[in-house]
Every structure is written in structure tokens, then in C-alpha cells.
Amino acid sequence: MATMKRRQFLKKTIAFPLLANGILSIRSMAAPKIYAEHLNKRNLPMYQNYSEKKRHKDPLIRLFLCGDVMTGRGIDQILPNPSEPQIYESYMRNALGYVYLAEKRNGAIDKPVSYDYVWGDALQALNHLAPDVRIINLETSITTNNHYWPGKGIQYRMHPNNIDCLKAADIDICTLANNHVLDWNHEGLRQTLSSLHKANIQTAGAGVDLAEAQRPAVFEIPEKGRVLIFSFADSSSGTPNSWKASHQRAGVNLLDNLSDQTLYQLASHVSAIKRENDIIIASIHWGGNWGYDIDLQHRKFAHGLIEQAGFDIIHGHSSHHPKGIEVYKNKPIIYGCGDFLNDYEGISGQESYRGDLGFMYFLTINAKTGDLIRMQLIPTQIKQFRIQYADKADSLWLQQMMNREGQKLGSQVALENNELLLSW
């Protein structure tokens, strides 16, 4: 169902019948209101301001992108319907251990939290900037399955009954080609897909077979055009080869490599589906968790995705911190978004990268040409398992870092009205 239509439908029909049936608890009804009072309200610039409208006669499509969203493990434990806390990591045997570590660092969390709690200030920014499509890389399995993937040292899962957490931010699509969606085996993937689809959230990058894993999510934006999101993983992200979907086997859309041959295959896949004026997004899970350097092979592949395969936006993720941004032939390449939500805040190590800081990426795209018109980065911080606006000092730190890394790629950012505005 198209985004606009779905939102209108939800607004009109879902809220009241649920209340009437008593499905929502008193707590979940009351909590959002109480929580809203604590929102750190800011004056955010409007997405579609007057001068932008005047300058661009073509329709503009607005997108929200972010990096890894990990609502499993410790995060799942503070939500209303936590999974069994047993995990099988060498470091930790109980998911509540991650809650304990976070609380030790930043103070107690009033559990259980409401479904919208984890999104914190992000909800205000999303409502204010009103993107046409909201895209996240969901880095967790949604399942009750207790059989983890043999040999997988870290296992993320969220209980399916916590799906309202993703609905609370009105997420439109979860990309799933990553190194955690099969942590709880094929059954875990099957439940992830069915939980998301039941919640009217589209998926791309994983499926019951190769065809579903490769299929893009499609959004029809009224009077603007279509947005197609392809999702794939590279093995450099730690996605095991055994997770690769095939004609007979469920799994993820794992690329063989980043070669010209792979580009050629993607180009023919895109050209078979693409219609005139479609905006085509490549959401790719690649590279390690830490480090600013951009692999030359990754850069060449990103350029190839734009030049040869016809993609308009490269949405890269896997790094736990944001990386530099490039705009190549008017098409944006986000090499690594950085984590948007996770349960790592009590874990020590790699402090110099400030993995607690991230961005909400808001892109304005010319719907006719697919060119980037504007990119706004809203600095965020994860604290008490909740996304909040980064403070001034941290926003300045992010600005300085993005300029240092952007210099190598031809981009710069300026801090204006609590957001970083990209120039190229």
C-alpha cells in the first residue's frame, strides 16, 4: 500500500478500534503523552521552504534514511514484551546484562518503556520534516525462536509482540540484507518477515527465496513518482556466505563480490524494473564497524552503481559511526550512516569514534532527475536506549569530523539551526 494512503488509513481506522477492543494497555495509552511533555522541543527548519519550492518547478521527493536500528537484545528487554533473556555470547549470557551496563553508565530506565520511547526526539524531527518514505536498516531478527545460528557469536532478537515499537515511528521499510537478520536461524527470518509484513512495513534484502531477497520495496508517492529500494550485503560486513538466499533456500541478498560482473548483474536487474522518473536506492551493508577510511573498491563500486547500474542514492551502513559523504554526478553516496539505535552504551572501547552519536539523514530529491537537491543531517545521541538530539558541543564535534572526512570526498557541512547542511 502506498505510503500516504497507509498513513491516512492508520490515522482514521486503527487508533480507535484498538482502544475500543482494549488491546492497548493503560500504560501504553498514557505513556506517549507523558513522554511527549519531556521532548526536547527544537525549532527545526521546514523541509519544503518557500525558496526551495520557488527554485524547483519539478516535484520533490523527501526521504528519511538512517543506519542500523537494533531493537533486539537489551532494547527488547525494556519494551513491554521482552524475549526470553537467555543469549549465547561469550561475553554475556543474559540480554538484561546490556540493560544493566547502560543503566550503570547513564542512570536507571523506567521499565517497561512505551513503544515510542526509544525514538525519543527523532519522532519530533520525523513529524516536522514529514518525509515521503522512512527507511531503516533493521539489524535484528524479530522472533521467538530459541535456536540460534550455530557458531554465530552474537545474537540479536526482538519479540514479535514488540513490533509496535517500529510502528510507533511509522517506519515504511526495513532493509534486511545484513549480518543479524538470521541470528536466530531460518525460522527467525521467517518470523521477521511475517511480523513486518503484518505491520504493513515493507522489506527488501531478505526473503524466503532469492527472488524475494532481491526484490525491491516499491513506494508510489502520489503526484511525484515511485521510490524503489534495493537492499544487499557485502561479505565485508560479516554477513556469512551460508546466509545467501538461493532459489531453494531462504536468506539474504548477499553479493558475490564488488566486481564489474556484479555491477552488470545489478544493472540488468534495475533496468528490467525501472520506469521513467523512478528514484532507485541501493541500500548496502558493507565494511567493518570502526574506521573512517573508505575502501577504494567500495568507492569504485558506489560510482559504478550510479554510473552503470542507474542508482540515484547509495545508502551505506555497517560502520557504528558516521563516515564521510560524497555526491557523485549529483547523486549522494552515504558510505556509512552510523548506528541510529543500539544497546551498546554501557560497552567500553572505541570511544574516540563516538559511536553514541549519529545522524538522521533527510534527503530532498528532484523526482524527475533523481538529483540531490538538499541533504540535512540532524545530529543525534543514544542515551538510556533512547535517541535524543545531540547537544551543541557534540554537534560541533560531528561537524568537524564530517568536514575532515568530507574534504577527501568533496563535501562539507555547515551547522545551521541545529542541523548540518551538506554542500558539495
Task: Report the interface residues with Zn ion, using CB under 5 A.
Answer: 178-179, 318
Neighbouring C-beta atoms of residue 340, cutoff 10 Å: 24
Q: Least distance to Zn ion from the beta carbon of 126, Å?
A: 23
Q: Least distance to Zn ion from the beta carbon of 211, Å?
A: 24
Nearer to Zn ion (CB atom), residue 195 or residue 318: 318
Nearer to Zn ion (CB atom), residue 125 or residue 294: 294
Nearer to Zn ion (CB atom), residue 137 or residue 395: 137
Nearer to Zn ion (CB atom), residue 123 or residue 213: 213
Nearer to Zn ion (CB atom), residue 60 or residue 182: 182
Q: Least distance to Zn ion from the beta carbon of 68, Å?
A: 6
Q: Which residue has the cell 569504485?
A: 300
Q: Provide DSSP, 199-262.
A: TT-EEESEESSHHHHHPPEEEEETTTEEEEEEEEE-GGGT--GGGB--SSS-EE-B-S-SSHHH
Cα 51 from chain centroid (whole Å): 30
Count the alpha carbons within 13 Å of 230 in the hemisphere toward its beta carbon. Answer: 26
Q: Least distance to Zn ion from the beta carbon of 239, Å?
A: 8
Residue 21 and residue 251: Cα distance in Å, rounded?
Answer: 37
User: Which residues are CB-neighbours of 218 under 8 A, at least 6 positions away?
Assistant: 202, 226, 227, 228
Nearer to Zn ion (CB atom), residue 121 or residue 339: 339
- Residue, CB closest to Zn ion: 179
Nearer to Zn ion (CB atom), residue 131 or residue 205: 205
Cβ atoms of 18 and 24 closer than 8 Å: yes
Cβ atoms of 184 and 147 closer than 8 Å: yes
Q: Least distance to Zn ion from the beta carbon of 347, Å?
A: 15
Helix axes 260-273, 296-307, angle to 10 degrees: 30
Q: Least distance to Zn ion from the beta carbon of 237, Å?
A: 5
User: Which residues are CB-neighbours of 259 under 8 A, at least 6 positions away?
Assistant: none
**Nearest-5° Cα angle at 46, 43 to 47:** 140
Q: Least distance to Zn ion from the beta carbon of 316, Å?
A: 11
Q: Least distance to Zn ion from the beta carbon of 307, Å?
A: 27
Nearer to Zn ion (CB atom), residue 178 or residue 384: 178
Residue 302 and residue 281: Cα distance in Å, rounded?
Answer: 12
Q: Provide DSSP, 197-208.
A: HHTT-EEESEES
